[in-house]
Structure 1
Amino acid sequence: MAGLLVLLLSVPSFGQINVLTSEKPVKIESIEETYRVVGPDSVVFCYNYNWRLVKPECATYFRHTKLSEEGYFTGPFKEYNRQAELLYTGAYAQKKKEGLFQEFYRNGKTKVAGHYKNDKLTGNWELFYETGEPKCVLLYTENSVYILSAWDQAGNQTVKNGNGTMNILFGANEYLQGLVQDSVMEGTWTSSTQGMPIFTEEFKKGEFVSGQFPGRQKKPNSYKNSQIRLFFQHDFSDPEKFEFMATCTPNKPMRMAVPTNPPTYHQDNSWVAQALFLKLKRSRLATSFWQKRGQINFTFVVNEKGVVKDVQLTEESAKRFYLYLDLVPVMQDALASLGDWAPATQKGQPVAYKMSLSVELNEATIGIQYRNEGPMD
């Protein structure tokens, strides 16, 4: 690690890092370009939205941690976004996740809290709404997960001592509802948004039996693996791989002089990607997406009224996918079908704000990640 530049700023001040103004990709020659030493045994690793190591000017997440002599994470760590907001905390011991792990909302309140033991989820894990009120309590054992308690968004306890009906806000305006008996899923479970069903699944004594997307066809689309994930979107194993990108695209400079609150999608942006994926999957226009391979990047604007505008391919993607411009109206239709956002604000006033989407196309799958770019000039 000798010879690396030491960050002159304090670790939480990532939003103040001077970044390149160019949006053209930059090369990453070695992993040494993706972290900075900030103490005798303390480093900051820079990750993109997909948890690949990148240069600081390209980073979405920053992990402040310590390394063992062998080069593994050790002791406590904290992860921040570019706005210097704390997102995750946890700890490692003997190369494994150990102890209390937490995820936080952007308002600072706890979103998820629980323990790892010997690299596995263990014991009670508590989930909370953005208001700080409890959402549900899950119990992790060696081979199973149990639902102990649950509360709806109004604060009413709907599952008690492992029995009742779960009806919780599950991401971006998506509600998950189903019967809980003896702490496991039973019967029909549904996921819906704005009163429209997204998928329906059947369970028997906690075991997944079948599932289907309603779709627009006469016969619903069936699938063989449950779509239900009760919480963590962040796989803490991804940063442990130390994989780095060959190139990365620098972020625009942060506007620190005028604090901006980015747009929000139904009070919680954490499930925008999943909601968009499900919209694409159900759309008859989305066939063209499933026929492509590689990564395509889009930008769009949430205007002062919270309406999505100006969906377009980035310059780099337009050059590579000039034959596939039909994807733009497909994405435009999918984004519009999500409904309006709460607009970004500066000094309490709504402003137009630029967002970006990265669509990873693999065989039979679509991976979607989005990020905040900044207010429009």
Structure 2
Amino acid sequence: MSDWRNIWMRVIWTFLITCLVVETEAQEKLEEQEEKPVYFEQVDSGLTQFYFDEHYFLVDKFCQFKTIERVGKYNLELKSFDGKFIDYNNEGEVVLTGNYANGKKNGVFTSYFANGQINWVTTFKDGEPEGISTYNYPDGLPMMEVLYKDGQVYVQNFWDTRRRQRVTDGNGKYAFAVKAEGYNEYGYEYIRYQGNIKRGKPDGHWDFFLVYEKNESYYAGYEKFKEGKFTAGYDEIKGEPYFKNSKLQVGPSIFFVQAENMMSKKCSIDENQDFSLFLINRLDASFAHYDASSVETGLIEVQAEIDKSGSLKDLEVIKGFPEEDIDALLLKAIKSVEYWIPSYADGEYIDDNFLITSDVMVDTESKQMKFYNLKITRENGT
């Protein structure tokens, strides 16, 4: 009897352990499903509600960076919004209205400030702006009028913050500060552009300035234009000229078009502010001249100690490359980042430890290393 009892006890224990394993796996799958981000949901009358951050990237509906909710129809065949839509902020106030037809923007698009004043109005035809677009200050007074004609953009009228009209009928002096969006390692908040407008186009010499807190500004470079066409520029920060493309931005940044790409971001400050992307580009550039054809690649892990001011205090490779010289280059590249977004907890910035992980591959044609799927995990803050 004792042998049978022992056999049955083993059977029962095996059964219980199997049940426990199955239950644990089921619970893990359930948790994974629960943690899956919700980027959009179906609502009444065939409408869909989309969740965006301030730059119109899809984010989870419960993400702290969600700032916009769009209600409208989406055509899966056209891969486009379809018909009228309304965008709301987190307080339920309307921030944008517009319309899509045959997969393209059509009709009047109107943007609103949170106080209800009109921000800007633009008319689209077959996806392209046409005619006069108007931009206002938050108090509703006019800031700028821009003409879209034959694929060209012309500044018609411009009023500065003191309500003085500086550009009239396409001619005059222009000075405007554009908010710096996302991460920049120099910490400036705005870029100010100033120069002359002639027949609606930039003309002659234009100066650029980086604007910091308390309106402190530093010279950042210049560009030259002839008959409205860019001819040359100089980047004071990098100390080098450029000739291909102008960096000049006339008017405020408009992000709503990004919604059409249906691209998402994870709910982290590093994703939201594009710091992860910046770090990937910095790493790629640092290894651009390294022949990696025989390098063993995989997952790397680096531990960084960042203080509350955004300065790097300590750095250690946890899991690197077999070649020590590559690890040295890796550390050098990360150390070259002058400013890190510090962690935030309990209403203040804090010292924290960052775990940086990234997958690495070798491009078969260029023989260069490429970093991707980079993640930053903060130990104590967000």
User: What is the CA-CA distance between 1:309 and the residue it aligns to?
Assistant: 7.7
Q: Higher helix proportion, which one?
A: 2
User: What is the CA-CA distance between 1:159 and the residue it aligns to?
Assistant: 0.7
Match for residue 212 of structure 1? 234
Which of structures 1 and 2 has the larger relative contact order (alpha carbons within 8 angstroms, sep 6+)? 1
Among 184, 188, 204, the residue aligned to 2:201? 184
CA contact (8 A) 2:311 2:339 kept: no
Match for residue 269 of structure 1? none
Match for residue 158 of structure 1? 166
1:145 correspondence with 2:165: no
- Offset from partner CA, 1:158-202 (integer Å, 9 cap, x none): 111111111123224332111111222111112213432223111
User: What is the CA-CA distance between 1:328 and the residue it aligns to?
Assistant: 6.2
- Offset from partner CA, 1:326-358 (integer Å, 9 cap, x none): 666654x3479xxxxxxx9x9xxx96699xxxx
Normalising by structure 2, we get a TM-score of 0.57
Could you list the runs of 5+ residues in structure 2 that have no partner in the other structure?
1-30, 180-188, 212-216, 289-298, 322-326, 352-365, 367-380
CA contact (8 A) 1:153 1:169 kept: no
Q: Give the letter for the 1:156 counterpart.
A: R
CA contact (8 A) 2:134 2:144 kept: yes
1:67-146 to 2 correspondences below 5 Å: 67=74, 72-82=80-90, 84=92, 86-146=94-154
User: What is the CA-CA distance between 1:79 and the residue it aligns to?
Assistant: 2.6
Percent of residue pairs identical: 23
Task: Provide the C-alpha distance between the structure 1 equivalents of 2:262 and 2:89, rounded to a whole number of angstroms.
Answer: 18
CA contact (8 A) 2:223 2:232 kept: yes
Match for residue 6 of structure 1? none
Among 40, 50, 60, the residue aligned to 2:45? 40
Among 237, 240, 254, the residue aligned to 2:260? 240
| Secondary structure in 2 matching 1:224 | coil
Q: Give the letter for the 2:225 counterpart.
A: F
| Secondary structure in 2 matching 1:290 | helix
Match for residue 19 of structure 2? none
Task: Provide the C-alpha distance between the structure 2 equivalents of 1:232 and 1:76, rounded to a whole number of angstroms.
Answer: 24
Task: Provide the C-alpha distance between the structure 1 equivalents of 2:59 and 2:287, rounded to a whole number of angstroms.
Answer: 26
| CA-atom RMSD in angstroms | 5.3
1:200 correspondence with 2:222: yes
Instruction: State the structure with more CA Rg.
Output: 2
CA contact (8 A) 1:111 1:130 kept: yes
- Offset from partner CA, 1:68-119 (integer Å, 9 cap, x none): 5856422221234556554433211232211222334455543332111121
- Offset from partner CA, 1:17-54 (integer Å, 9 cap, x none): xxxxx99x9557xxxx6321111121112345665545
Match for residue 227 of structure 1? 247
User: What is the CA-CA distance between 1:235 and the residue it aligns to?
Assistant: 4.9
Q: Give the letter for the 2:136 counterpart.
A: F
| Secondary structure in 2 matching 1:239 | helix
Q: Give the letter for the 1:290 counterpart.
A: A
| Secondary structure in 1 matching 2:62 | helix
| Secondary structure in 2 matching 1:180 | strand
Q: Using a 3 Å threshold, how does the CA distance of structure 1 residues 170 and 235 change in structure 2: closer, same or farther?
A: closer
CA contact (8 A) 1:78 1:89 kept: yes
Could you list the runs of 5+ residues in structure 1 that have no partner in the other structure?
1-21, 253-271, 281-285, 337-343, 355-362, 364-375
